Amino acid sequence: MAEGEKGVQPAAVDRRCTTKYVFVSGGVASSLGKGIISASLGKLLQNRGFRVTIQKLDPYINIDPGTLNPYEHGECYVTEDGAETDLDLGHYERFLNQPTSRQNSVTTGQIYQSVIHKERRGEYLGKTVQVIPHVTDEIKRRIMLLGSKGQYDVVITEIGGTVGDIESLPYIEAVRQLKWDLGEGNTVFIHLTLVPYLNASGELKTKPTQHSVKELLENGIQPDVLVLRTEHALSADLRKKVALFCNVQPENVVESIDVPTIYEVPLRMRAERLDMAVLRKLQLPVESAPELVVWKSFLDRFYHPKHTVRIALVGKYVELADAYKSIHESLIHGGAANRCRVECTSISSEKLDASTAPVLLQGFDGILVAPGFGHRGIEGKLEAIRYAREQGIPFLGICLGMQCSVVEFARHVLGIADASSREWVRATTEPVIDLMENQKGVTELGGTMRLGAYPCELTPGSRAAEAYGTLQISERHRHRYEFNDSYLDRFNAAGMVATGRNPATNLVEVVEIPAHPWFVGVQFHPEYKSTVVSPHPLFVAFVRASMQKRKKVAE
């Protein structure tokens, strides 16, 4: 179903209409939540029966964020087709409940790479290659590509960065041109700004917004809709003032007030009629919209939990919550599915050793060990896993977290003291986790991991099979190392079993300890596929197991 809400019939839409384009930019400050506004608008349009997709334009020169340290830009999100992308794509998928693809993520690096390749092939026929028109044309091509197959009624394009940045200028210029190319009624430009509140005078200030719009005007763009991020409700007068000074219709000035959860934003945007403002501008039918039934029931479960669990998230990028964005969101989804409040505490793996782990991890109902790269913080992860395994605390290990659980088991249960991963000790004599065969000749770092969705077959009766309710699954990957099959018999005999395998390569994708209350390590990243409408079964099961653990302790 197009609109992604089970059981809700989308309104009939005239499919003859050509694809319409929505542009979302930001001003005044960064981190105002353009991604959430884009995703919320997408959700509202989808709920009205429109086929929507959301794209992100990122102004950095990296080809993709795959090689970026998570401290730079937060988590690297992976799509079904194996693109390493900005974490905003995660919001798009979680809100729309539909996958994105490589085409939904564009960076300045990719734009320049195509232009330069084209130049080398001689395709510019001797012309001087310039930002305008060659770079802007490539940007326009990338934006239009998503709409070109008739798959979508509306393409929402979020322009990363803040208006006024040097890096985003080519994007703004490309969009200015597209607005003219596509003509009236086919595009709408939304600008998100901040209306700061001055405590001393008790006033909301609109001047930064006026300046930001002026900046856009200097670049030839008159925004159609203004979304004002604010800590306090905006009065009718203030809206009128902004409308007057920024040349927009008063009904197109939309308030985006701080809310307790990002999942509240679609409802706020609906109440503010953002979707209607957009539809009017796009000359699409503005009828009354169906209720967001599934969405509201999720929020109801989120706001009114009957249970609570405490989960420890052990990783090495814990200072920045965005580094594990999808994991945090998946825990929220899994919690709501169980009517359970998940209190997630991030714990730096570097703080954990044999003596601190039992102290710092005491009282948690579940332990999740995060994905990651390199050797830093590994010993702490192993200690966290040992504690979870020995104390019978529900454990979910994701990618590196799964690999660590294999090494921990090898060292402390199989007695292989030197067991390690080839990633941490190149010359290890006991590589229970080894480099994948087809990674051996790989020298370049960018985009060369095993990336994207692969099928996996689960063992009947396993915890994973129980959680999924099926034996055939598909999950997304991002790794170079794998479980070393030559050790499998020894693991099996000692009680750690492989319960998920890739049907083509036989690669181990899931390990479990059946004698433990709930101990599951997965080579893939379930967090990329959890959405509000379809919470991920492993997170649902992990939260449930943690609830059971808590109940048992209480008894």
* Nearest residue (CB) to ligand GLN, 171 versus 481: 481
- Of 73, 479, 525, 536, catalytic: 525
Closest to 214 in 3D by CA, of 182, 191, 197, 237: 191
Give me the least distance between CB of 316 and ligand GLN, in Å please: 11
| Residue 399 is a catalytic residue | yes
Q: Please report the DSSP string for 148-204 in residue order.
A: TTS--SEEEEEE-S-TT-TTTHHHHHHHHHHHHHH-TTSEEEEEEEE--EETTTTEE
User: How many Å apart are CA 325 and CA 318, to the nearest integer?
Assistant: 11
Considering only 253-261, 328-336, 386-394, 477-485, which stretch makes contact with ligand GLN by CB under 6 A? 477-485
319 is in an annotated binding site: no
Least Å distance, CB 51 to ligand GLN, is: 32
* Residue 32 assigned to a binding site: yes
x/- track of binding to ligand GLN for residues 56-95 (CB under 6 A): ----------------------------------------
Determine contact, residues 331/366, Cβ cutoff 8 Å: no
326 appears as a binding residue in the annotation: no
Q: Judge whether 200 and 34 are in contact, CB under 8 Å.
A: no
Residue 162 exposure: Cα atoms within 13 Å on the Cβ side? 14
Indicate if 527 belongs to the active site. yes
| AA letter at 266 | P
User: Which 509-548 positions form the footprint of ligand GLN (CB under 6 A)?
Assistant: none
Cα separations in angstroms, 118 against 121, 134, 178? 5, 10, 22
Cα first-last separation, the chain = 44
User: Judged by CB under 6 A, which of 60, 112, 124, 373 binds ligand GLN?
Assistant: 373
C-alpha–C-alpha distance, residues 373 and 248, integer Å = 48
297 burial type by CB count under 10 A (0-12 exposed, 13-18 middle, 19+ buried): exposed
Residues 278-307 that bind ligand GLN (CB under 6 A): none
158 assigned ligand-binding residue: yes
Among 138, 423, 434, 509, binds ligand GLN (CB under 6 A): 423
Residue 209 annotated as part of some ligand binding site? yes
**479 is a contact residue toward ligand GLN (CB under 6 A):** yes
Residue choice 99, 372, 380, 535 for contact with ligand GLN (CB under 6 A): 372
399 is a contact residue toward ligand GLN (CB under 6 A) = yes
Contacting residue, 35, 371, 380, 526, with ligand GLN by CB under 6 A: 371
**Whether 446 contacts 83, CB under 8 Å:** no
Q: Give the active site residue among 399, 408, 512, 536.
A: 399
Active site residues: 399, 525, 527
Which residues are annotated binding-site positions for Mg(2+)?
88, 158
Annotated binding residues for ATP = 31-36, 88, 259
Footprint of ligand GLN (CB under 6 A): 371-373, 399-400, 423, 478-481
